[in-house]
Structure 1
């Protein structure tokens, strides 16, 4: 198992009405059991994300976030509203390269990059972070159970001899 699983936010863990969270229009509010912005864009976790986070909790896998956003405060507010902030003891949420995010995660945890698994929807991030020896998984349309569990196997296979 990975020591740390790192997730991107936009188009990986959540959908913000088809855009990035920094393109939303606060204030955010609960409306009919949903989180919406001022214009009515609906913010939601992808269908399988709750089960994936629960799996990580059950297997005591530490989780982190790496999100390149121009509005870190908005992302943090949405994480709070979705009631998942507590699941991520490590969160690098600010406008910068994912390489900077991962350098901070590595420094904070003391763990080797090879012990990390990363999910992101942008191929440039997958390529960059993959060069660090992090098992990096491209997420096409939101994280799914199938992709998550296939990726755990891919991580295990890549680290079998380590």
Structure 2
């Protein structure tokens, strides 16, 4: 089966790449526990990435796909700290965060990446909130995820193999 890679893969953060809300559940300062591969906040709350995130990011990077994030977080500084401490900055080429629609996030990400619009680009959004399927009106593929396990290798492979749009 031939896999079709997007030009740009957009990932939500909360309950898509990690199992928590950055803006309500995390209390800075945050440290990274190298041994256990998770973050620890000031109260000892721990959070790790969903298991397949790094594998997916590495595969996308190997296939020259631009990886970006879009999140409705009220605490972008905490999200940025989490992304950095998880070492995700080496994969992510841009982020748009704030309390607005994913359509707005994606439009602004395209501008930041130097595109006038998304015409001709194959773009996908991986997200755990069904309301964000509105991005389909922009020609963006939408992969709806189960928030209990975030993005999985199976979700990703199903998308690449044309089983999800």
Give the match for residue 89 of structure 2: 85
Q: Stretches of 4+ moved more than 6 A in 1?
A: none
CA contact (8 A) 1:22 1:74 kept: yes
Q: Secondary structure at the match of 2:83?
A: helix
Among 27, 30, 46, the alignment partner of 1:28 is 30
- Aligned pairs, how many? 153
Report the alpha carbon displacement of residue 113 of structure 1 after superposing the two structures with TM.
7.3
- Measured in 1, the distance between the counterparts of 2:119 and 2:46 equals 37
The farther-off stretch of 59-68 and 92-101 is 92-101
Normalised by the length of structure 1, the TM-score is 0.86
Q: Which runs of 5+ in 2 are unaligned?
A: none
Contact 2:11 2:125 in 1 (8 A): yes
More helix by share: 1
Cα distance in structure 2, aligned partners of 1:105 and 1:132: 14
Question: Partner of 1:117: helix, strand, or coil?
Answer: strand
Alignment partner of 2:136 out of 124, 127, 130: 130
Matched residue, 2:124:
117
Q: Partners of 2:119 and 2:80 in 1: how far apart?
A: 26
What is the CA–CA distance in structure 1 between the aligned matches of 2:99 and 2:122, rounded to whole Å? Answer: 25
Stretches of structure 1 lacking an aligned partner (at least 5 in a row): none
Shift of 1:30: 2.8
Q: CA RMSD in A?
A: 1.9
CA contact (8 A) 1:113 1:133 kept: no
Cα deviation code 1:82-102 (max 9, x no counterpart) = 001121112112222112101
